Each structure stands twice: as C-alpha cells, then as structure tokens.
Amino acid sequence: MEGKGRVCVTGAGGYLGSWVVKDLLHKGYTVHGTVRDPCDEKKNGHLKKLENSSENLHIFKADLLDYQGLYNAVKGCTGVFHVACPVPGTRKVLDPEAEMLQPAIEGTVNILKACTNANVKKVVIVSSLATVMDNPNWPKDQPIDESCWSDVEFCRMFKNWYGVGKTIAENKAWDYAKNTGLNLVTVCPSVVIGPMLQSTLNASTSFLLEFMKDTKATVENRNLPYVYVQDTVDAIILAYEKPEAEGRYICSAFTISSKELVEKLKSMYPDYQYPTSFIEVEQLNSGKLNCKKLENLGLKFTPVDETLVNAVKNLEETGLLAVVHKHPDLAN
C-alpha cells in the first residue's frame, strides 16, 4: 500500500511547491518532486527535512522544457500538481520569450503531454490571478469571477510578461484538456504570503519585506489581493481530492491598498521602517473578487491579521527582519 497514492509536484523546491509537498507528505501521499538541480542543497535541501520525506519523497531532475525528464517524474503517478513557473521577482526581464513565456507555455504543454502518456488520472495546475485580473472590458464595479480572462495583448502592452505567459499557458491547458479528455482543474491564487520553508527569498515574500525595511520611501498606492500560503495549499489539494471540483478557482482572501497595508503593519509592528508617502494610481478595476466557488468547495480563508502575523513572525525567525518587539498573539 502507498497510503493515499502516488502524485507528482513540479517545482517542488519553490515557495509554494515546498508547501504542497509538505502537506501531501503529511496526508500520506508518496510524492515525486521535480527540481532543476537535485544537488543544489541551498535551494532544495529543506525538502529532505519534511515529515515522511525519507520514506515517501522522491526527487527528480526535470526542467520544464525537458519532456523526458517530466515524463520520468510523472510515470506511475495517479495525480500531478503543476506548480513550477518562472516568476520575475525584482529582477529585470531581459528576454521575455526565453525567460518567461517559453517555460510557462511550453512547460505546461510538456507536463500535460507527459500526464496523458503516463495515464495520470487528474491534473491540478497552479495558475494565477494574473490570468484573471487584466481585462479592460470587464465591468469596472462588478466583482471578478472565474469567467473573466486577462487580455493577452493588454498585458503585452504593459510588459506584464508573467501575465502573458500564465494566461496563454492556462488557455492552452484548457484546450488540451478539451481535446484529450484529461481531468484538469486550475487554481488561480493572488499574491501568496506567509511563512517560507525554503532558505531563498521568493518574490511575494520580498514584496511584503519591502514595506517593512524602508527600501522605498515612496510607493504606489495600489489595491492588491492577497492569500495566506496555507489557504492556497488547502485549495490546491481540495481541487485534487474533491471529485466535484471542476474548472477554474479564484483563490484570494482579501484585497487591501498599499497604504492600508502599511498602516495595519505599523499598528502591529511600530518599530520597523515603512514608506512615508504614497502615489495614487489609476487601476483597471476595483479589485473586488468573487471567491464563492472555492468557498463552496470547502475552503475557509485565514483573516488578514493572522496572515500578517504568521508572515512577519517567519521573517523575524529567519533573520530577514530584526526582532524588535513581541509578536501579537493572534495565531493561538
């Protein structure tokens, strides 16, 4: 017996991938995890420390553009969680086609073809709210739901290469599923924040960190949607385990402006250095999201204060923020 079955997680060493692997191992799954370099202890060594990893975690070397490597990883698996995708973070994208678009689009097609050829029963793709939000034709004050798709040309115009890649990739995935009958579900998270398992700083955590380290005195006052990392993992696994799960699922707990977020963090953690001024910017929509579909599947979102407390506590514990006070005791 293999407990709950054998599944594969692409991008196993990344921020979200690590959490998915952690929870699957805890639940009794045998996990095949793909990473680009199994010998890179700095990026992937934390996976060996996870509960049940010595018995039930098998690491595979696989790049998104390496079909054979992906096939080797998914072979023998009942389900696949496609989490891997290039994220630009703070670095400048010099070659969008090679750095962002090709890995996102061809990588998704490769993993789906490998799943078909390996007789995988169900695939969950971690897409992004970037495939949903950037639609200039959506009614401005209407909450956005799963029927909304980002406009690829609109994303190109603003050089939002992440949005371009993820939107094309998810569209291709749905076309592939319709043509082949593959059982596919996609989850579209907003900005994922919370504790890190890996030692390297990921893009969404660095975004939160910037607000608390005085790296920018002036920031744009944008409404941004956020979701706690554990909620995101719960949504991804619910999408896999629930037979009734189908289609797309928006995964976002709360939307808050940069100014409101800074004010909230200052009230909870007054001793850090925060931006002092905010530039008002025009946004495409109100930022209101309809997440009832995911809630009806059984997900309960973590409140904003608890999300921030757990995220900041981890930043302090890892030394990315200096501990200057006691934590608000909201997690108990």
Q: How far apart are CA 211 and CA 204, in angstroms?
A: 12
CA–CA dist 223, 282 (Å, integer)? 10
Q: Which residue has the tokens 């890190």?
A: 196
Measured CA to CA, the distance from residue 30 to residue 26 in angstroms comes to: 10
Burial class for 331, CB neighbours closer than 10 Å (0-12, 13-18, 19+): exposed
Within 10 angstroms of residue 259's Cβ, the number of other Cβ atoms is 17
Residue 292 appears among annotated catalytic residues? no
Check 4, 61, 75, 166 and give the catalytic one.
166
Give the integer Cα–Cα distance in Å for 6 and 8: 7
Compute how many other C-beta atoms are within 10 angstroms of the C-beta atom of residue 224.
17
Residue with tokens 């757990």: 310
State how far the Cα of 101 lies from the Cα of 161, in Å rounded to an integer.
Answer: 7
Sorted by sequence, the CB contacts under 8 Å of residue 50 that are 6+ apart come out as 18, 21, 22, 25, 57, 197
Using alpha carbons only, give the angle 275, 280, 283 rounded to the nearest 5 degrees.
120
Active centre residues (catalytic): 166
